[in-house]
Amino acid sequence: MKALVLKQPNEMVLQEVPNPTPKQNEVLVKVLRVGVCGTDLHAYGGNQPFFSYPRIVGHELAVQVVEIPKEARKYASHVKEGDIVAVLPYLHCGKCIACRMGKTNCCIELQCLGVHTDGGMREYFTIQPKYLVPAGKVSVEDLALVECFSIGFHGVRRSEVKPEENVLVVGAGPIGIGVIHGLKERRARVIVLDVNEKRLEYARRVAKADVTIHAGKEAVEQRLLELTGGEYPTLVMDATGNAKQMMESFNFVSQGGRVVFVGLVTADITFSDPLFHRKEITLYASRNATIEDFKNVISALESRRVSTEGFVTHTASLEEAVHQFPLWRKPETGVIKAVVKVG
The binding site for Zn ion (CB under 5 A) comprises: 37, 92-93, 96, 99, 107
**Least distance to Zn ion, CB of residue 288, Å:** 9
Smallest CA-to-CA distance from 296 within 186, 150, 148 is with 150
**Least distance to Zn ion, CB of residue 292, Å:** 16
HSE-up of residue 95 (Cα within 13 Å, Cβ side): 2
CB-based contacts of 37: which residues, under 8 Å, 6+ apart?
Answer: 59, 60, 148, 174
**Least distance to Zn ion, CB of residue 120, Å:** 11
Nearer to Zn ion, 37 or 167 (CB): 37
**Least distance to Zn ion, CB of residue 92, Å:** 5
Q: What DSSP letter does each residue of 110-127 carry, written as one string?
A: -EEBTTTB--SSBSEEEE
**Least distance to Zn ion, CB of residue 274, Å:** 36
Q: How far is residue 148's CA from residue 144's CA, in Å, rounded to a whole number?
A: 8
For residue 197, the surrounding DSSP H or E stretch is: helix 197-205
**Least distance to Zn ion, CB of residue 155, Å:** 14
- 342 CB burial (10 A radius; 0-12, 13-18, 19+): buried
Q: How far is residue 341's CA from residue 35's CA, in Å, rounded to a whole number?
A: 9
Please provide the size of the chain in residues.
343
Contact, 270 vs 292, CB < 8 A?
Answer: no
**Least distance to Zn ion, CB of residue 103, Å:** 9
**Least distance to Zn ion, CB of residue 30, Å:** 21
What SS3 class is residue 211?
A: strand
Is the backbone peptide bond immediately before 54 cis, with ω within 30 degrees of 0? yes
Nearer to Zn ion, 37 or 193 (CB): 37
Nearer to Zn ion, 109 or 201 (CB): 109
Nearer to Zn ion, 87 or 215 (CB): 87
Nearer to Zn ion, 99 or 180 (CB): 99
Nearer to Zn ion, 96 or 206 (CB): 96
Q: Where are the alpha helices (DSSP H) in 59-159?
A: 97-100, 140-143, 146-159
**Least distance to Zn ion, CB of residue 305, Å:** 22
**Backbone phi, then psi, for 135, in 5-degree steps?**
-90, -10
Q: What DSSP letter does each residue of 185-244 carry, written as one string?
A: HTT-EEEEEES-HHHHHHHHHTS--SEEEETTTS-HHHHHHHHTTTS--SEEEE-S--HH
CB-based contacts of 209: which residues, under 8 Å, 6+ apart?
Answer: 169, 172, 180, 184, 190, 191, 192, 200, 203
Q: How far is residue 87's CA from residue 63's CA, in Å, rounded to a whole number?
A: 7
Query: Strand 166-170 vs strand 189-194: parallel, antiparallel, or unpaired?
Result: parallel
Nearer to Zn ion, 76 or 262 (CB): 262
Nearer to Zn ion, 37 or 132 (CB): 37
Nearer to Zn ion, 92 or 154 (CB): 92
